[in-house]
Structure 1
Amino acid sequence: MSNFLEEIDKYLDNIMTREERRAFEERVDNDSTLAEELKLQKDMRTVYDDNDWIEGDKTALKNDEAKQLRNFFASDEAKSLKASITEVMDNNRLNSGNKRFYFLGIAASIIVLMTISIFVFSESDYNDLYADNIALEEIPSMITRGEEENELINNAQTLFENKKYREASDVFSKYHNSDVDTIDPLSYIYKGVAHLELNEFDKALGQFGLLEQTHTLQSKKADWYRAMVYLKQEEKEKLRQILLQITSDSTNYNFERAKALLEDI
């Protein structure tokens, strides 16, 4: 085992000659124990790397789950865990044979469990927080009975309440492009939330931007609905910043709810 580790270190440090590398790689192809140890050493070097902890698969790092994982690895909690693992590993580097392999296995297992917990539990937590805070039933009604000119609004809200968000968004667009003298600011909330429910985050933010520009009582809700976008996106830092903005003034819309959410994330 000790010879394995010395050879693996040389291989990973790229200090073997071309002939030595070729011979070593042939041994890896034919020796499952050596191949397993090489993979484990590569994984653990990724853990130790202070510059880029998980820069393994570049394509995998582009999706939303990987973003969440990178954000976690940048957190104080992850750094503390990493330091603890590194300390254990450093204390056992001088030991040889199966004991060192044993500790490597423990450390690698911790990383695997940590990754699984992030993907499973953290994602579930964010989904639950979004469901608890979006409060669709609290959006004031736009429906006005008996006024023919409000037919588009009535149809759009009915579609929204039936969770037909794509159709509702289309009808709200017709309303916004109609000849009404003044756009009801609530329509920007409804259309923005429809986009949010469809995971069309940029379009949702666009509607909440228009809401803010109305400078009405409803416009004060724009920051809260932006927070809902970041919550559903699991953009923790952006979410935290806008919640801090909301909680900076007790007169802001959903001040108390923002305080509670800030504590939960």
Structure 2
Amino acid sequence: MEQDIERYLNNEMTQEEVAAFLNKIDTDPEAKKLLSLYKEMNVVYDQNDWELLDKKTTNQKVQQYEQFLRSDKGKEIANSIKAAEQSYFNEKPFRLTKILKYVAVAAIFIAGLFLVVEYNQGTNTEQLYATYKNWDELPSLTLRDQNSDLTEIEQQFRTENYEESLLLLNTYVLNNDQNVNPQLLMYKGISQLELHKNTAAIDTFTELLESKTLDADKAHWYLALSYLKNQDVEKAKTELELLLEKPTNFKNKEAKELLSSLH
């Protein structure tokens, strides 16, 4: 069935074959679901460059797989599959675009397995991340300083234009020789998280942790969320446990709840 779907989506069928295929789809619910999944995959993946595209998909499973593949762990798996594919097929006269598409299917399948395992263990990291992130609680960058650059950074951040906010923030830090600003580090790290730059976010929050400022301990909470988004449950637990060493620490109540959900 998968080969027929591939031929149909690539316009490789005769009119008679198309008619027979569509009749099969109309009478087979499972085939219809599979066709829908393949169509959604074509929206999400660039079969020529094997890249995730910035397009919306309505299929919930594909959305979950896409989220996983955007994580560092997902990218590592995808790159490993791609490398294996290239090694094997370099000596074979196959059509490259077709092979890449099958690699995308394989990567999604593997991602699905990881998601099923996470779900069965009662640990849906993406859902927990979405539940516990609350950027509205971030302190304003311009509460005491009416600097127009900071105003623009915060405005872009609050409207979820994280890419522009991060660009402006990096430019501001580059042009202003000053001590470490913990609030800017929080805005920077969160922007990186929302842009799926999980490793960079972890580096930023580690810098916050090592800043020895009054806000340094908050880094444990943001690091926990970063590791959670990166599918690294054990490191997320470690950060939450460090946060709970002092009852007065930032997000103490939420840390207890989240840690309980991860056990």
* Cα distance per residue 1:48-71 (max 9 Å; x no partner): xxxxxxxxxxxx9x953998xxxx
Q: Say what the alpha-carbon RMSD is for the aligned residues.
A: 3.1
* Cα distance per residue 1:56-114 (max 9 Å; x no partner): xxxx9x953998xxxxxxxxxxxxxxxxxxxxxxxxxxxxxxxxxxxxxxxxxxxxx98
The amino acid across from 1:166 in the alignment is E
CA deviation after TM superposition for structure 1 residue 152, in Å: 1.5
TM-score, normalisation: structure 1:
0.52
Equivalent residue number for residue 176 of structure 1: 173
Matched positions, count: 158
* Structure number with bigger Rg: 1
Residues 263, 186 of structure 1: alpha-carbon distance in 2 compared, 3 angstrom cutoff = same
The amino acid across from 1:254 in the alignment is K
Matches within 5 A, 1:132-171: 132-144=131-143, 147=146, 150-171=147-168
Structure possessing the higher relative contact order (Cα contacts under 8 Å, 6 or more residues apart): 2
* Cα distance per residue 1:159-207 (max 9 Å; x no partner): 1111111111111101111235444320100010000011111211121
CA deviation after TM superposition for structure 1 residue 236, in Å: 0.9
Counterparts of 1:204 and 1:119, CA distance in 2: 23
Determine which of 198, 202, 206 is the counterpart of 1:205: 202
Q: Does residue 196 of the first structure (1) align with residue 206 of the second (2)?
A: no
Counterparts of 1:263 and 1:203, CA distance in 2: 27
Equivalent residue number for residue 248 of structure 2: 251
Gaps of 5+ in 1: 1-59, 68-112
The amino acid across from 1:143 in the alignment is T
* Cα distance per residue 1:121-162 (max 9 Å; x no partner): 779832221112111111111124883xx2221111111111
Equivalent residue number for residue 23 of structure 1: none
Gaps of 5+ in 2: 1-68, 78-111
The amino acid across from 2:128 in the alignment is L
The amino acid across from 2:243 in the alignment is I
Residues 156, 122 of structure 1: alpha-carbon distance in 2 compared, 3 angstrom cutoff = farther
Counterparts of 2:174 and 2:113, CA distance in 1: 50
* Cα distance per residue 1:197-238 (max 9 Å; x no partner): 111112111211222233222222111100010111121111
CA deviation after TM superposition for structure 1 residue 119, in Å: 6.2
Check the 8 A contact 1:144/1:154 in 2, yes or no. no
Residues 158, 244 of structure 1: alpha-carbon distance in 2 compared, 3 angstrom cutoff = same
Determine which of 227, 232, 251 is the counterpart of 1:235: 232
Q: SS in structure 2 opposite 1:177? A: helix
The amino acid across from 2:127 in the alignment is D
Check the 8 A contact 2:118/2:124 in 1, yes or no. no
Residues 212, 146 of structure 1: alpha-carbon distance in 2 compared, 3 angstrom cutoff = closer
The amino acid across from 2:134 in the alignment is A
Counterparts of 1:197 and 1:120, CA distance in 2: 22
Determine which of 211, 215, 218 is the counterpart of 2:212: 215
Residues 197, 236 of structure 1: alpha-carbon distance in 2 compared, 3 angstrom cutoff = same
Counterparts of 1:130 and 1:212, CA distance in 2: 20
Q: SS in structure 1 opposite 2:140? A: coil
Counterparts of 1:127 and 1:142, CA distance in 2: 28
